[in-house]
Structure 1
Amino acid sequence: MSQLFSVHPDNPQPRLLKQAVSLLERGGVIAVPTDSSYALACQLDDKAAADRLRRIREVDDKHHLTLLCRDLSELASYAKVDNRQYRLLKLATPGPYTFILEASKEVPRRVSHPSRKTIGLRVPEHRALLDLLQLHGAPLLATTLILPGDEHPLNDPEAIRERLQHEIDAVIDAGACALEPTTVLDLVPMGTGGEPEVVREGQGALAPLGL
């Protein structure tokens, strides 16, 4: 059965987050709270764990997985970012936005989009998740926790544990999250003088970004 780490949403206990990090380092897949909905996460360089993410979601390699980053500088080391893109990213981070960008060489080819060589990246605004990322010391590979057949993401930690107790290793319980996934923006066209494309309108508002 998966473990349940109940942490304070604004002052999460480091001892519990360190236990979650230890599971990740041993190849674990865990459910984590974000500023939009809960997500499934694993280490970036763990192929078997990434394959488990895809199996749980029932998505193929054309589905963008997302890198959860601690800050904008970390995001920029995993994606090719020009000045226009950087200005928009600075406006939107941290926050409930996922950005599709051209992956840098730091991203394993097997987790980027097979034809476009792009990756989804985001800097969440959630204390427990940011503390987890800080303790882990690197981005985590993630996907929104929408199970096959469901219309909305899961946001109740107990329900997540009950439904996925034999498929994931732990749930970080920081209370309920929003039911709405992130807003997804494709910034790749900006690299050739175009405009960002709204792939999905979600939790993140477009107006503050001038879109």
Structure 2
Amino acid sequence: MRTLRMYPSSINERYLDEVADCLRAGGIIIYPTDTLYAVGCDALNNGAIERLCRIKGVNPQKQTLSVVCDGISMASEYARIDNEAFRILRRNLPGAFTFILPAATSLPKVFKGRKEVGIRVPDNQIAMAIAARLGHPILSSSLKVDDEVPEFDAQELALAFEGQAELLIDDGGDGESLSGGMPLPSTVVDLTDSRSPEIIREGKGELQ
């Protein structure tokens, strides 16, 4: 696995191109977010999605899949966002949230027949820059390995996922996940009925 050192305050454009090219080719990446490190692939590449789900040991037909976008505008192409949902997203994003929204028909066939999609716009310049350079969302899942492999330690993650992912983006400790204390996952909010949002997992984000 190739490791790229990239800093949120000074993103390497050449590395960013390499990451986007890897994703377009069906590759798997490990990258920092505003919570835990995440494993991701091109959200429009069915083969890559199936591969990522095998790595995570999840059934894509039974589990809500989440995508990382560079902003609400990109998210609106892949989820149905009504006026009230838009107001909630605008107040809270970018931020440490996964919002469950009605899925749009523009998602690939692995999403067909699914009514929901998780939307993430993390408050992390690297994650948003990757999605922007790719031009569409990253299918993403937080990394929870085991008690022996901290999900905020890039070197340990590189060893744990050797042979499974092509690239690891190491933020050099500048990421939010290394800011002290045990890292928290995103707060998950069900917005399928935007008039009565429901927090279904408490995490780092505090809903406004």
TM over 0.5: yes
Task: Find the residue that maps to 1:189 and give its secondary structure.
Answer: coil
After superposition, residues 31-50 of structure 1 pair within 5 angstroms as: 31-50=30-49
Q: Deviations over 1:64-106 (max 9, x none)?
A: 2211111111111211111111111110111110100000111
Q: Return the offset for 1:59.
A: 1.3
1:132 maps onto 2:130 in alignment: yes
Distance 1:23 1:31 in 2: 12
Q: Return 5+ residue gaps in structure 2 as ranges.
A: 178-182
1:143 aligns with 141
Contact 1:109 1:117 in 2 (8 A): no
After superposition, residues 156-195 of structure 1 pair within 5 angstroms as: 156-176=153-173, 177=175, 178=177, 179-190=183-194, 193=195, 195=196
1:59 aligns with 58
Pair 1:152–1:89, CA change in 2 (3 A): farther
Distance 2:51 2:158 in 1: 16
Contact 1:57 1:146 in 2 (8 A): no
Q: Deviations over 1:130-181 (max 9, x none)?
A: 222222111111111123x559971111111010011111101113442211
Please give the root-mean-square deviation of Cα atoms over the aligned residues, in Å: 1.8
Contact 1:100 1:118 in 2 (8 A): yes
Q: Return the offset for 1:185.
A: 0.3
1:16 maps onto 2:20 in alignment: no
Contact 1:99 1:121 in 2 (8 A): yes
Pair 1:136–1:55, CA change in 2 (3 A): same
Contact 1:6 1:173 in 2 (8 A): yes
2:100 aligns with 100
Task: Find the residue that maps to 1:110 and give its secondary structure.
Answer: helix
For 2:11, the aligned partner's letter is: P
Distance 1:201 1:146 in 2: 16
Moved over 3 A (4+): 149-153
Pair 1:73–1:157, CA change in 2 (3 A): same
After superposition, residues 194-205 of structure 1 pair within 5 angstroms as: 195-205=196-206
Task: Find the residue that maps to 1:198 and give its secondary structure.
Answer: strand
Contact 1:144 1:153 in 2 (8 A): no
Distance 2:136 2:53 in 1: 21
Pair 1:152–1:71, CA change in 2 (3 A): farther
Distance 2:96 2:137 in 1: 16
Distance 1:4 1:131 in 2: 17
Q: Return the offset for 1:108.
A: 2.0
Task: Find the residue that maps to 2:122 and give its secondary structure.
Answer: coil
Contact 2:26 2:42 in 1 (8 A): yes
TM-score, scaled to structure 1: 0.88
Contact 1:69 1:138 in 2 (8 A): yes
TM-score, scaled to structure 2: 0.89
